[in-house]
């Protein structure tokens, strides 16, 4: 047991170190540029009008729209998101605005924020595993897997909201499991509070909340119990607090439709299946999909491991445990995959949308590795 603890500690330290390695060496890509644009307080329309005039643009002029402008405030950040990208709730972008004001807007500075936030996912993962299993070893193994997994490291180093979303998924899930187990009213109040920042971080938190609801209903065998009422009241409070942004998205629905139109581009089923294989393999291996597409077959042994781990989980843990993991994985995955199968599209090719499912698989594999 001692050697295992030492090994997990080494892996954990390695994962933490990798999050802060070469932050400025990787290309600052399209989405990250938009993060800096939002933090600057300018809109994309303003940047296009100023820069696209058919003449040479010097670096300093370009960087004007990548740094917080003294004459702009966080209100301008909110306004830019509301009018041009209402599908992105504002929590992370406002945080990035203040971070850039305090620590600068260099690539290293902008990526340091998500890297630091990602560290909070480690204790949050331990907490969720403790609520589920009351087992320190499962929590340590899950932390180690989260620390070293390529998918979590990649988005810990990207100046976007996904490392924050991972933290909020784990925290809201841990609070929910505690509320279901302890049946104390104050826990549902804490759950409602935890839900609000999750919704203001990413719209797909709606699927996480829905998955929580499916779990609560199934645990209570679809009876209108006090637990179900507690969940309904808490989720209602969370949704009410999120209504202002829903209203903004509705008012600016033209921009919403235009910025999400890519999701409806049809892809043939074999291509979708290959993307799903790539996404699954990202839990353990990292490689460029287009550089060697044959590596997609690495998904097969990883799929076998996931199925074995889930089967082991269902056979050796109480219904309240395995059902939570299955709903955390399944509701988000089905919410992305089924629309693509039924109406065509490529929503499910976006790897970062599957974080709730990744977290569920990580926990299931951690339990299997410590108990098999």
- Tens of pLDDT, residue by residue over 145-164, are 999 999 999 999 999 999 99
Average pLDDT over residues 205-212: 97
The model's confidence at residue 334, banded by pLDDT at 50, 70 and 90, is very high
> Does residue 350 surpass a pLDDT of 80?
yes
Give the pLDDT score at 289.
58
| DSSP labels, 79-143 | HHHHHH-TTS-SHHHHHHHHHHHHH-SSHHHHHHHHHHHHHHHHHHHHHHHHHHH--HHHHHHHH
Top-confidence residue, 259 or 308: 308
State the Cα–Cα distance between residues 52 and 368, nearest whole angstrom: 55
> Does residue 166 surpass a pLDDT of 90?
yes
Average pLDDT over residues 237-262: 94
> Does residue 131 surpass a pLDDT of 80?
yes
Q: Is residue 66 within 8 Å of residue 33, measured between CB atoms?
A: yes
Average pLDDT over residues 237-251: 96
> Does residue 251 surpass a pLDDT of 80?
yes
Top-confidence residue, 25 or 54: 25
| DSSP labels, 5-71 | HHHHHHHHHHHHHHHTSSTTTS---HHHHHHHHHHHT--HHHHHHHH-SSS---HHHHHGGGS--TT
| Percentage above 90 pLDDT, the chain | 78
Give the pLDDT score at 54.
77
State the Cα–Cα distance between residues 159 and 92, nearest whole angstrom: 10
Average pLDDT over residues 105-128: 97
> Does residue 25 surpass a pLDDT of 60?
yes
- Tens of pLDDT, residue by residue over 265-286, are 999 998 898 889 888 888 998 7
> Does residue 182 surpass a pLDDT of 70?
yes
The model's confidence at residue 60, banded by pLDDT at 50, 70 and 90, is confident
Percentages of the chain per state (helix, strand, coil), in multiples of 5 = 80, 0, 20
> Does residue 288 surpass a pLDDT of 70?
no
> Does residue 4 surpass a pLDDT of 90?
no
The model's confidence at residue 196, banded by pLDDT at 50, 70 and 90, is very high
């Amino acid at each position: 047991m001692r050697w295992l603890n030492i090994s997990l500690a080494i892996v954990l330290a390695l994962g933490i170190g990798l999050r802060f390695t070469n932050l400025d060496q990787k290309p600052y890509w399209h989405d990250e540029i938009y993060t800096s644009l939002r933090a600057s307080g300018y809109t994309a329309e303003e940047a296009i009008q100023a820069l696209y005039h058919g003449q040479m643009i010097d670096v300093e002029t370009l960087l004007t729209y990548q740094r917080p402008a003294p004459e702009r405030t966080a209100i301008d950040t909110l306004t830019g998101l509301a009018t041009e990208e209402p599908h992105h709730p504002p929590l992370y972008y406002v945080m990035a605005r203040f971070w850039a004001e305090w620590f600068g807007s260099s690539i290293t500075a902008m990526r340091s924020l998500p890297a630091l936030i990602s560290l909070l996912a480690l204790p949050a993962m331990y907490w969720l595993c403790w609520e589920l299993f009351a087992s320190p070893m499962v929590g340590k193994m899950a932390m180690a897997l989260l620390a070293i997994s390529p998918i979590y490291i990649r988005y810990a180093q990207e100046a976007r909201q996904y490392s924050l979303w991972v933290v909020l998924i784990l925290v809201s899930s841990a609070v929910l499991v505690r509320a279901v187990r302890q049946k104390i009213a104050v826990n549902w109040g804490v759950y409602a509070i935890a839900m609000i920042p999750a919704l203001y971080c990413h719209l797909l938190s709606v699927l996480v909340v829905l998955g929580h609801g499916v779990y609560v209903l199934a645990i209570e065998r679809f009876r209108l119990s006090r637990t179900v009422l507690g969940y309904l009241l808490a989720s209602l409070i969370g949704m009410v607090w999120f209504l202002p942004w829903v209203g903004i998205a509705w008012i600016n629905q033209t921009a919403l439709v235009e910025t999400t139109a890519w999701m409806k581009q049809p892809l043939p089923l074999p291509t979708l299946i290959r993307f799903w294989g790539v996404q699954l393999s990202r839990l353990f291996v990292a490689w460029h999909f287009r550089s060697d597409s044959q590596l997609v077959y690495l998904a097969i042994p990883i799929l076998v491991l996931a199925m074995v781990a889930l089967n082991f989980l269902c056979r050796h843990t109480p219904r309240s445990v395995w059902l939570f993991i299955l709903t955390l994985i399944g509701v988000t995955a089905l919410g992305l995959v089924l629309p693509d199968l039924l109406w065509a599209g490529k929503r499910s090719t976006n790897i970062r949308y599957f974080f709730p499912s990744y977290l569920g698989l990580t926990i299931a594999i951690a339990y299997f590795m410590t108990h098999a």
